[in-house]
Homo-oligomer: A and B are copies of this chain.
Amino acid sequence: MSYYDKHVFFCTNDRGAGADRPSCARCGSVELRDYAKKRIKQLDMAGQGKIRVNSAGCLDRCEEGPTMVVYPEGVWYTYIDEMDVDEIIDSHLLGGKIVERLKI
């Protein structure tokens, strides 16, 4: 069994303004990572055997971002706001049901 049941990585890479590729931190990924982390803690679902929300460097799917990936299942998502993140948490992380509309 995995150390974490669900290990979620939010790309928080920031290429700066005017870069030639988009970057997730320019699309609110840091704030939404914080939001997800806080919600998982409030739900008492953080920790070993449960869920871990992590920051990651560039996941190299910049044009499809902001991106996150959920392991061990290897499901990738994009999201734009707290409602999207809530749906990923409620449906996938807690309920085990992939959110097809946000998959990349």
Q: Is the interface of A mostly helix, strand, loop or mixed?
A: loop
Give the distance in Å from the alpha carbon of A52 to the alpha carbon of B11 in the complex: 13
Measured CB to CB, the closest approach of chain B to A50, in angstroms, equals 11
Measured CB to CB, the closest approach of chain B to A73, in angstroms, equals 7
Is A60 close to B, CB under 8 A? yes
* Oligomeric state, in copies: 2
Identify which of B3, B7, B9, B72 contacts A54 (C-beta below 8 A). B9
Give the distance in Å from the alpha carbon of A56 to the alpha carbon of B12 in the complex: 9
Interface residues of A in 15-60 (CB under 8 A from B): 47, 52, 54-60
Contact check, B56 vs A2: say whether CB atoms are below 8 A apart: no
Sample of 18 further A-B pairs with CB below 8 A, known A12-B57, A72-B72: A2-B74, A3-B61, A3-B69, A3-B74, A3-B76, A4-B74, A7-B69, A9-B54, A9-B56, A52-B59, A54-B56, A54-B57, A55-B56, A56-B56, A56-B57, A71-B71, A71-B72, A71-B74
